[in-house]
Structure 1
Amino acid sequence: MSTHENPIQPSGSLLLAATPIGDIEDASPRLIRALAEAEVVAAEDTRRLLALASRLDVRINGKLVSLHDHNEAERAESVVDLAEGGARVLVVSDAGMPTVSDPGFRVVREAVRRGIRVSALPGPSAPITALAVSGLPSDRFAFEGFLPRKDGEARRYLHALASDPHTLIFFESAKRLNDTLVRMAEAFGGTRDAVVCRELTKTHEEIIRGDLNSLIATTAGEVLGEVTIVVAGFTGHGDALEYAEAVIALAQEGMRLKEAAVQVAQATGLRANDLFRAALRRKDEAQRGEDEETRENS
């Protein structure tokens, strides 16, 4: 148990604690104290937490319970019951701040509903770290987390964000990164600036800057590690040809080309007629390319 006379957390409260996203040395002294002093530790993965505690050379003296995406809905009330009963309850996820694309939101909401004190122990955060190093505007931003896994849903989600002026932050798996960048180029235009941040704070940290077209080319091969994507917000500038692929993509999902042009126009502020003509031009160019390839192979 900690030798401090005043525990870092008062009895009967909930404390959210950020854990390292890569480099173990990012663990704060307050996190180490909180792990030792908590009477209950709700962890996304108890085995990973015990491994972290071992590396930090700290002993977890309290009751250890699992709190993850698949059980939080049913376990939130019992976790808050422990705080309401007077326990110091610490909530941690595998990496970064709980509730930010991680478990913890339902527990916090239930604690707030009951009037239980909720506080946070700040620390590492992949979205904020990526935003800080991106070089993109950081005065207005939105964290979007992971995109829907189904292709059509992901495309529609991105098209809905095409005219959002905020800098946008996404999580993505390394395996899906290139496909996601392709969808983003279709929705936002290939010349939209973006940054891919891989393995933040780790030994092999890599930050790749450019527009979406160049990032697609750069990530065409094998990519490993944890990935965060930061995309510049819509500025109201650009020409119709940049968004022609977005119109065509919507049409390929079953929408009439003119209707697709209207939808992209609403998202980008461009004229629907210009987008419609640009999409026809792109389709004609693609058809001519296919015809030439057929002649060369015949």
Structure 2
Amino acid sequence: MLNELYHFATPWAKATKRQINVNRMLGVAANALYPIYCAWSPLPKQRTTQGERMVVSLTTFPLRIGKVHLTIQSILRQSRPADRILLWLSKEEFPEEAQLPANLLRLKEKGLDIRFCDNIRSFKKVFYTAQEFENDVIVTADDDALYPENWLEGLWDTHEKYPGCVCCYRAHEITFEGGRVAPYQEWYGLSPDKKGPSEALFPVGVGGVLYPAGYFSGIEFDSGKIMKLCPTADDMWLKIVGAQKRIPAVKVSTNSKEWFTIRNSQRQCLMSVNTAGRMRNDEALQNLMEYYHVTAEMLGGTSTEQKGKG
């Protein structure tokens, strides 16, 4: 059902003002129709896959718990199913599983695995999954997006073509000045007309990101240290994890569409916190590069000539 709506959407990086307005109207339509569709259309039976396992992992918080079931419904209705779907919740925010919304608990019968953990903010969506399933393919998802039915299929097909890469729908392109990483706001937002693979591509979590098996092997999992270095910049930490191993990123398509956001889900954009708050993206990246001994070269290059690659 969502595939049909996304068919009429235009990639935001290339959209005109009129097309952006059409995208927004499609998002309104999706928000109105998808809950009805889910209520009347049974979820598919759980299917098993052969070969590598794919684990989808996400988290949420109290302001979004009432509607996260819609995101999970969209993940359960994929043409290429996930082998596991994990929802990580803070045990401080959700002390009793029985008090969770009934429409969320019902999805456990369809394969949803609800786990409880310490509250390490947005890192919950990957931190614990990466340790338990490091030998599997891991896909991170946001908790307020409506994913098209071919979302995982697109990531998986790209993974099969580029098995050693991080695969994503959205990515910025890191730029450089004088042999150093340029300020975050000077990067090429959404990297228009760039696909990769490239070490300079910076995956953006909201679109969905696939990490190949072994991506997190040998990584230090110290939540206290991470929260000091970059408490709100999980995308930064995830990029640095791969930079240590010189793992490039590649996009599913050159210019991807932006997924519809669930309305009234109380979106709290960490990007605005990072760029204007006490812990900026630039500060977080500098902290991480220093701690993990990552150089600009390991992030894609040291000169402006690197901008055109990918």
Superposed pair shares fold, TM > 0.5: no
**Structure with more of its chain in helix, by fraction:** 1
TM-score w.r.t. the length of structure 1 is 0.27
Structure with bigger gyration radius: 1
